[in-house]
Amino acid sequence: MRRIWIVALLVLVAGCGNSTWHQKFDWNAEDYFDDPQVIALCKAIEANDLEEMEQLIQAGADVTATGKDNMTPLLWAFPDNKLERFKKLLEHGADPNVIVRSDFNTHSSGIRPGFSITHMACKTSFPGYFEAVFEHGGDPNLVEQGQGIIPETPIFKIVRNRPADQKERIVTLISLGADLDFINGADVTPCMQAVSWGEQFDLVLFLLEKGADWKVYQTTINARLAHKMIMCKRLRGNRWTPETKRQYDEVKQWLESQGESFEDAEKDLDRRQSWQSLPPHEYSLRIEAEIAERKRREAQKQPGQK
């Protein structure tokens, strides 16, 4: 699935052979906007005519306009790897955080209802787009959500798509106030996502050192980062490279230095494994009881206690 979305984003930003994105997917400005100035701006964008774009903007063309299904001039400028036209709109105040409500005839080729430019810029590997968006108002905590989409913030895109400058992008998001402990619609934090998505233990350690909270529990099961790591090791550890094993051990050592007990986490998982033969309803009741007991203990702890 990751490869499919990378290809889709490459097509979206790079264009489609000899035809433009707008031609390939039959994007006509008149179908999305009513304002003649905005329509003219979109046509200048298609032609990559920076001088005409500037003249139209100076004459009052609204770079923040939202049309049918929240189409924007900025989205019009995003495809085809034409960074300068894209940056020009951002420099004039275009909003990258608009959530769209359609795939705009692309059949989900890089765009889906619930997406935003802010999230798409996190997934593209083409240079300059990510930086442009987050230098001009990209929200590091914007939640992407729509039918069939996992509600999540931009950092999850960077964790899963693993761009070459992954850590640098995350540093940018952190500097802008990104929540490193956000639990997405799949019930995982960025650290947990990094574990399950390619055993990125070097990234897990990086996030922890940047302030991610290892004590955050999933909402539907009594598991936190240590549990996720152990489950991953049990499932795929026999196929890990020596480098992956070393990185796992580094994270484990770091967590234990902070007070985590992998021994207790192992016991938790073994206990739940012993419940697998129970009827589903009984299993769920036991998990719910575990969660309730854990929350009761947490409520009784003094501030600063682990």
Helices (H), the chain: 2-14, 21-24, 29-32, 36-46, 50-58, 73-77, 83-91, 117-123, 129-135, 154-161, 166-175, 190-196, 201-209, 225-236, 242-257, 262-274, 280-300
Does 88 share its domain with 224? Answer: no
Phi, psi of 16 (to 5 degrees): -130, 75
Domain-terminating residue out of 178, 200, 215: 178
Contacts of 263 (CB under 8 A, 6+ apart): none
What CATH number should be reported for the domain holding residue 87? 1.25.40.20
Q: What is the pLDDT of residues 216-236, one digit of tens each?
A: 999 888 999 999 999 999 999
Q: How confident is the model at residue 298 (pLDDT cuts 50, 70, 90)?
A: confident
Does 191 share its domain with 77? Answer: no
Can you say how many angstroms the Cα of residue 76 is from the centroid of all Cα atoms in its chain? 22
Domain-terminating residue out of 141, 157, 178: 178
Read off the pLDDT of each residue in 280-288 and give the average, rounded to a whole number: 94
Distances (CA, A) of 194 to 69, 137, 206: 33, 26, 11
Does 117 share its domain with 252? Answer: no
Backbone dihedral region for residue 152 (phi beyond 0: left; psi -120 to 50: alpha; all else: beta): beta
Residue 1 has pLDDT above 50, yes or no: no
Domain-terminating residue out of 128, 148, 178: 178
Does 72 share its domain with 202? Answer: no
Does 42 share its domain with 122? Answer: yes
Does 8 share its domain with 72? Answer: yes
Q: What is the pLDDT of residues 44-74, one digit of tens each?
A: 999 999 999 999 999 999 999 999 999 999 9
Q: At what angle do helices 2-14 and 154-161 cross, to 10 degrees?
A: 110
Residue 18 has pLDDT above 90, yes or no: no
Q: Which amino acid is at 220?
A: T
The Cα–Cα gap between 241 and 238 comes to: 9
Does 46 share its domain with 190? Answer: no
The Cα–Cα gap between 222 and 240 comes to: 26
Q: What is the pLDDT of residues 238-251, one digit of tens each?
A: 999 999 999 999 99
Residue 107's CB is within 10 A of a number of other CB atoms, namely 11
| pLDDT of the residue at 6 | 45
Does 27 share its domain with 77? Answer: yes
Structural domain count, the chain? 2
Residue 185 has pLDDT above 70, yes or no: yes
Query: What's the whole-model pTM score?
Result: 0.89
Least confident of 8-22, 32-46, 84-98, 200-214: 8-22
Does 163 share its domain with 224? Answer: no
| pLDDT of the residue at 11 | 47
Does 170 share its domain with 257? Answer: no
| pLDDT of the residue at 301 | 77
For the record, the structure tokens of 87 come out as: 């940056």
Residue 288 has pLDDT above 90, yes or no: yes
Does 216 share its domain with 119? Answer: no
Sign of CA dihedral 196, 197, 201, 207: negative
Does 3 share its domain with 87? Answer: yes
| pLDDT of the residue at 19 | 80
Q: Residue 114 sits in which domain range? A: 1-178
Residue 14 has pLDDT above 60, yes or no: no
- Residue with the larger pLDDT of the pair 163 and 15: 163
What CATH number should be reported for the domain holding residue 286? 1.25.40
